Amino acid sequence: SSATTPIRATLFPGDGIGPEIAESVKQIFQAAEAPIEWEEHYVGTEVDPRTQSFLTWESLESVRRNRVGLKGPMATPIGKGHRSLNLTLRKELNLYANVRPCYSLSGYKTRYDNVDLITIRENTEGEYSGLEHQVVRGVVESIKIITRQASIRVAEYAFHYAKAHGRKRVSAIHKANIMQKTDGLFLKCCREVAEKYPEITYEEVVIDNCCMMLVKNPALFDVLVMPNLYGDIISDLCAGLIGGLGLTPSCNIGEGGIALAEAVHGSAPDIAGKVLGGDVASPLFEILEHFDPMFLPSFPGLPNNFNIQICSGGSSIIRWPLVMLRHFIESGITVRLAVQFGGHGLMGYNLSHGSQGCNLANPTALLLSSVSMLRHLDLHDKADRIQNAILDTIAEGKYRTADLGGTSKTTEFTKAIIDHL
Is there binding between residue 73 and ligand NAD (CB under 6 A)? yes
Q: Which of 282, 294, 302, 284 is nearest to 348 (CA)?
A: 284
Alpha carbons 405 and 113: distance in angstroms, whole number: 19
Judge whether 333 and 300 are in contact, CB under 8 Å: no
Question: Which of 270, 279, 330, 378 contacts ligand NAD by CB under 6 A?
Answer: 270
Question: Which residue lies nearer to ligand NAD by CB, 146 or 264?
Answer: 264
Identify the active-site residue in 96, 232, 349, 382. Answer: 232
Identify the active-site residue in 116, 128, 188, 197. Answer: 128
Is there binding between residue 406 and ligand NAD (CB under 6 A)? no
**Stated length of the chain:** 421
Question: Which of 246, 254, 273, 348 contacts ligand NAD by CB under 6 A?
Answer: 246
Q: Is 236 a catalytic residue?
A: yes
Is there binding between residue 41 and ligand NAD (CB under 6 A)? no
Q: How far is the CB of 341 from ligand NAD (least distance, A)?
A: 13
Question: Which residue lies nearer to ligand NAD by CB, 66 or 362?
Answer: 362
Q: How far is the CB of 265 from ligand NAD (least distance, A)?
A: 3
Identify the active-site residue in 109, 168, 208, 381. Answer: 208
Is there binding between residue 76 and ligand NAD (CB under 6 A)? yes
DSSP β-ladder status, 201-206 and 344-352: unpaired
Q: Is 232 a catalytic residue?
A: yes
Residues 134-153 that bind ligand NAD (CB under 6 A): none
Question: Which of 95, 97, 200, 271 contacts ligand NAD by CB under 6 A?
Answer: 271
Burial of residue 297, with CB atoms counted within 10 A of its CB: 0-12 exposed, 13-18 middle, 19 or more buried:
exposed
Neighbours of 59 (CB within 10 A): 23
Question: Which of 34, 36, 75, 173 contacts ligand NAD by CB under 6 A?
Answer: 75
Residues 351-370 that bind ligand NAD (CB under 6 A): 361-362, 365
Alpha carbons 82 and 88: distance in angstroms, whole number: 9
Is there binding between residue 254 and ligand NAD (CB under 6 A)? no
Neighbours of 364 (CB within 10 A): 29
Burial 237-269 (b: 16+ CB within 10 A, else e): bbbbbbbbebbbbbbbbbeeebbbbbbbbebbb
Judge whether 43 and 267 are in contact, CB under 8 Å: no
Neighbours of 126 (CB within 10 A): 25
Q: Is 175 a catalytic residue?
A: yes
Window contacting ligand NAD (CB under 6 A); options: 1-9, 87-95, 178-186, 261-269: 261-269
Question: Which of 90, 121, 265, 376 contacts ligand NAD by CB under 6 A?
Answer: 265
Q: Which of 97, 101, 19 is nearest to 383 (CA)?
A: 101
Q: Is 196 a catalytic residue?
A: no
Neighbours of 55 (CB within 10 A): 27
Is there binding between residue 268 and ligand NAD (CB under 6 A)? yes
Q: Is 230 a catalytic residue?
A: no
Is there binding between residue 172 and ligand NAD (CB under 6 A)? no
Helix (H, G, I), strand (E, B) or coil at 377: coil
Q: Which of 230, 78, 88, 89 is nearest to 154 (CA)?
A: 230
Residues assigned a catalytic role: 128, 175, 208, 232, 236
Positions touching ligand NAD (CB under 6 A) are: 17, 73-76, 86, 246, 262, 265-271, 361-362, 365, 403
